[in-house]
A and B are shown apart, each in its own frame.
Chain A
């Protein structure tokens, strides 16, 4: 009687021991290497996130190739705009300093919608000190131009007010020469 009782105890202890060993081995194998370095997570995940591809660069990264546009942008009223918002991310256009695809340029028929994203006066909450807004088509009527004109016909998109007085000047020159 006594001996068989001992066997039971031994069996239970042995099974528990095996479960413990298998569990420890499984934990060792299944836990990622970097788990728990900083906390209850895989520290390599930080590394993965850091290595994500940067798709948007800055305006400074466009400057080496597009000097004329960059200079106009930096000196005009659109100096705070990001090139990549109106065009497309740098990663779609250049890789390692070399051009890989043509950058998108907004078509004429879509340019009004693009400009009005910011400059639409019919929305409130656009204070005068932050942004100059216009109401369409009243603005076209005020300026006495055709109602199907698009913004970029009068405004140079990279520096919107740089050449705005040219038509007037040309008109005056014409008048004086007559």
Chain B
């Protein structure tokens, strides 16, 4: 069988040189500490490896396509396994919206869709008009309210637009959990610090897409750089179709977009 994407040795040498130069220059944060194994896996986000990482040159966006989500919950499983999330806490989850003929909306998410959805809801007596799934995760707001309220500077927005948590610094006061309009945060019972989806920052910085995007079988979750004109997210955002964000009126300006968003979704 033909081996795909074998990196020539010359490229790797140039890459190592750049890493070493970067370290000496003191820009420790800008250098990818990728192991040799990671380098062998083909890059999923173009232009991250081999270059010095410029934090401000990237504008990442996440697009969730509601019309193609089938509610299998593989994203939730991948997420739980990637981070060993304690039970009953969810960095990402999938909600099921059911609408009956009186326009009444029923929302449920048994165990955050970790076990998937095994059948229709039995407690709804009325005929159902429509059902759809909505995956939820951190919105990576451009104006994050969680960062505003943190009293110790333990949660912050990185120059490349990710809202992260400094676990060593967090005192676990829970202000950010209340401030988040999307309920994306929770108090991790193991570390006793706030925790949330990071859009797999550690994977992105090594050129891999987030674990949930990698696991999604229908392509309902898309991730990419908006500054790259050839990326799938740029094409989707600049193409036709209904694309919107959750709770626009809150003014948080999320970087998470929903394709085919319905007005019932909150």
Is B206 an interface residue when CB atoms closer than 8 A count as contact? yes
Report chain A residues within 8 Å CB of B118.
Answer: 113, 116, 120
> Interface digits, A81-108 against B, CB 8 Å rule (1 contact, 0 not)?
1101100110000001100000000000
Q: CB distance A58 to B218 under 8 Å? A: no
Chain A contacts with B in 29-87, Cβ cutoff 8 A: 32, 35, 38-58, 60-61, 63, 67, 71, 80-82, 84-85
Known contacts A45-B164, A124-B131, A130-B68; is-contact A56 B74 (Cβ 8 Å): no
Indicate whether A126 reaches chain B with its CB closer than 8 angstroms: yes
- Provide the bound-state CA to CA distance between A116 and B118, in Å: 7
Cβ–Cβ contact B29 & A43, under 8 A:
yes
Q: Tell me if A125 and B218 are in contact (CB < 8 A).
A: no
A149 at the A/B interface (Cβ < 8 Å)? no
- Complex-state Cα separation, A48 to B214, whole angstroms: 23
Report if A58-B42 is in contact (Cβ < 8 Å); known contacts: A50-B205, A125-B133: yes
Cβ of B103 within 8 Å of any chain A Cβ, yes or no, is no
**Distance in angstroms between the alpha carbons of A156 and B118 in the assembled complex:** 22
Return chain B residues, CB-CB under 8 Å to A127: 67-68
| Residue in B closest to A78 when the chains form the complex, CB atoms | B217
Stretch in B11-19, B153-161, B184-192, B242-250 with 4+ CB within 8 Å of A: B153-161
Residues of B within 8 A of A61 (CB): 37, 40-41
Please count how many residues in chain A sit with their CB below 8 Å of the partner chain's CB atoms: 50
The chain A residue sitting closest to B68, CB to CB, is: A130
Q: Which one of B77-85, B233-241, B251-259 is at the A interface?
A: B77-85
Given known pairs A58-B208, A130-B218, the reply for A125 and B132 (CB within 8 Å) is yes
B73 sits at the interface (CB 8 A): yes
**Residue B54 lies at the interface, judged by CB distance under 8 Å to chain A:** no
- Segment at the interface with A among B135-143, B172-180, B196-204, B223-231: B196-204
B140 to chain A, nearest CB (A): 14
Cross-chain contact A60 with B78 (CB below 8 angstroms): no
Report if A8 contacts B (CB, 8 A).
Answer: no
* Contact in complex: B82, A35 (CB < 8 Å): no
B149 interface residue (CB < 8 Å to A)? no
B73 partner residues in chain A, CB cutoff 8 A:
117
- Residues in chain B near residue A178, CB distance under 8 A: none
* A40-B153, A123-B117, A125-B71 as given contacts; A131 in contact with B42, CB under 8 Å: no
If the complex has contacts A40-B156, A41-B153, A130-B70, are A81 and B217 also in contact, measured as CB distance less than 8 A?
yes
Whether A47 pairs with B29 at a CB distance below 8 angstroms is: yes
A49 to B169, CA, bound (A): 13
Per a CB cutoff under 8 Å, which of B71, B157, B164 touches A123?
A: B71
Checking A48, A82, A120 against B215 with a beta-carbon cut-off of 8 angstroms, the contacting residue is A82
Pair A122/B72 contact, Cβ less than 8 Å: no
> How far apart sit A173 and B164, CA to CA, in the bound complex (Å)?
63
A51 near B33: Cβ-Cβ < 8 Å: yes
Contact of B29 among A46, A97, A117, A123 (CB under 8 A): A46
Point out the residues of chain A lying under 8 angstroms from B198, CB to CB: 49
Closest to B160 in A: A46
Partner of B219, one of A58, A80, A117, A118: A80
Closest to A40 in B: B153
Chain B positions within 8 Å of A46 at CB level:
29, 158, 164
Least CB distance from A43 to B in Å reads: 6
B107 contacts the other chain (CB 8 A)? no
Q: Which residues of A contact B38 (CB under 8 A)?
A: 54
Closest to B155 in A: A41
B71 and A85 form a contact (CB under 8 A): no
- Which residues on A sit within 8 Å (CB–CB) of B153? 35, 40-42
Bound complex: CA of A56 vs CA of B219, how far in Å?
17
Q: Contacts A39-B156, A123-B131, A130-B218; is A54 near B208 (CB within 8 Å)? A: yes
With A41-B153, A52-B202, A55-B82 already in contact, 6 other A-B pairs whose C-beta atoms are closer than 8 Å: A43-B29, A45-B165, A51-B202, A56-B214, A61-B40, A124-B128
Closest 7 CB pairs of A and B: A41-B156, A45-B166, A124-B131, A117-B116, A52-B202, A125-B131, A118-B72
